[in-house]
Amino acid sequence: MFSARLHSRRLWIGAAALAAAASLFAFQSAHAGYAPSALPDRIVTTWTAEPAASFSVTWRTSTAVSKGFGEIVEATDGPDFEKAARRVEAAVEAYETNQGPAHAHSVTFRGLKPATEYLYRVGDGSDAWSEWIPFRTAAAQPEPFTFLYFGDAQTRIRSAWSRVVRRALETAPGARLAIHAGDLINNYDQDAQWGEWHEASSAMHRSIPAMPAIGNHEYGRGAEGRRRPTVNWRPQFALPLNGAAGLEETNYFVDFQGVRFVALNSNEKLEEQAAWLDRLLEKNPNRWTVVFFHHPIFSGARGRDNQRVREAWQPVFDRRGVDLVLNGHDHVYARTRLVRGDGGTEGGTMYVTSVSGAKMYDGKAHPAIEKIIRHTQFFQVIRVDGDALTLEARTARGEVADSFRIVKRGGAKRLIAR
């Protein structure tokens, strides 16, 4: 008995020393770079198919986990829901980051009921699972809903951007999706920056799908000498493959409850996307159209005019009656009124640029900008309800700093701005 106790005490001391060493290592590795483990992390929901009947999830593990699984079940109030869960095997993709190799896993849950709360979890099929996470499918018809929009996070992501995400979730806990208008991070292939981004947004994106646009900071010149998107982009986001050729998962669209959401890639292939968008919006059954991309049509800071983007895309927005364009890149909050490229007053498009992170720019805005607010971190809460779309630009502390409403009556569109 005595020797057994002594033995267990020695074991305990040994275990404590190991734990101390492990926690030191964990701190160092977390600080240096968010190393992958057997446990799923960087869990992000998205849509790659019909939002009323499906959703997709991606997550990351170390390469020791060679298979991944998702499980899903309709949510109940009792704890016995697990028994009815069904399992889907994940697609596994090995990718190499500047901090070493990792596995990206992705599943798409299909055949779901509309407007229904589910619980899902992801893991290795035995011990290493995420928690059960609630997720609500879209209604099959147009229904009022709220979504979030963030401008560039980019720098001091962990230290100064995370608070903006927290306040956004507190303000709009029922938000159904979140748009990121590019420059999510600062240096395209720096995996530790992606670690900060996922840490700061994980509570949101486990339940609220991400719709990211790709910014110039997600591009870089790799060892091969060619400018290309970060190696992290495609493994970590499962996005629709319905855009222009050569822009897979950076140019795409999703229809959600009466709104067509379109992501464009303003870094390359502008003409190809203009033609693609024109065809896409020729037959659009949705009442509202929201387009988002990184480089603003109307710049909010000096010397940053994106004439090529404006000339390529604004005529399509005008012709197809795009309601709202959401941009980043200029590190200010800046919006127009309903404007058209030909100076007309019928219809028109509202252009908004915003910033959620810590980097800020000064300078003179394009004359089309009606409202500009500088040196402030923002998130936007946007509500679509029948004939009205309302945007609130809220500061990091949650104050409404700007708001407007677009109202549609028949073919006419009018702006109410405060």
Tokens for 263, please give them: 């992501």
Q: Given the rule CB under 5 A, which of 186-194, 232-240, 261-269, 322-330 is the region that contacts Fe ion?
A: 322-330
Task: Name the residue with the smallest CB distance to Fe ion.
Answer: 183
Q: Is 183 in the site for Fe ion (CB under 5 A)?
A: yes
Residue 205 contacts by C-beta under 8 Å, 6 or more apart in sequence? 43, 44, 45, 178, 198
Q: Given the rule CB under 5 A, which of 48-56, 72-80, 175-183, 340-348 is the region that contacts Fe ion?
A: 175-183
Look-up of token digits 């947004």: 201
Return d(Cα 112, Cα 35) in angstroms, integer: 34
Task: Please report how close the Cβ of residue 31 comes to Fe ion at its closest, in angstroms.
Answer: 24
Return d(Cα 351, Cα 368) in angstroms, integer: 9
Task: Please report how close the Cβ of residue 154 comes to Fe ion at its closest, in angstroms.
Answer: 5
Task: Decide whether 215 or 341 has the Cβ nearer to Fe ion.
Answer: 215
Task: Please report how close the Cβ of residue 215 comes to Fe ion at its closest, in angstroms.
Answer: 5
Task: Please report how close the Cβ of residue 298 comes to Fe ion at its closest, in angstroms.
Answer: 15
338 close to 348: Cβ distance less than 8 angstroms: yes
Q: Is 176 in the site for Fe ion (CB under 5 A)?
A: no
110 close to 140: Cβ distance less than 8 angstroms: no
Task: Decide whether 41 or 152 has the Cβ nearer to Fe ion.
Answer: 152
Task: Decide whether 61 or 230 has the Cβ nearer to Fe ion.
Answer: 230
Return d(Cα 252, Cα 261) in angstroms, integer: 8
Q: Binding mask 349-388 vs Fe ion (x if CB under 5 A, - otherwise)?
A: ----------------------------------------
Query: Binding residues for Fe ion, how many (CB under 5 A)?
Result: 6
Task: Decide whether 119 or 301 has the Cβ nearer to Fe ion.
Answer: 301
Return d(Cα 171, Cα 403) in angstroms, integer: 15
Q: Is 152 in the site for Fe ion (CB under 5 A)?
A: yes
Return d(Cα 35, Cα 41) in angstroms, integer: 10
Return d(Cα 78, Cα 332) in angstroms, integer: 47
Task: Decide whether 332 or 389 has the Cβ nearer to Fe ion.
Answer: 332
- Out of 60, 260, 329, 335, point to the residue binding Fe ion (CB under 5 A): 329
Beta bridge partners of 291: 262, 325
E-only strand ranges, 235-332? 252-256, 259-263, 288-292, 324-327
Q: Binding mask 198-237 vs Fe ion (x if CB under 5 A, - otherwise)?
A: -----------------xx---------------------
Half-sphere exposure of 126 (CA within 13 A, CB side): 4
Task: Please report how close the Cβ of residue 267 comes to Fe ion at its closest, in angstroms.
Answer: 9
Q: C-alpha angle with apex 186: 182 to 188, nearest 5 degrees? A: 80
**Binding-site ranges for Fe ion (CB under 5 A):** 152, 154, 183, 215-216, 329
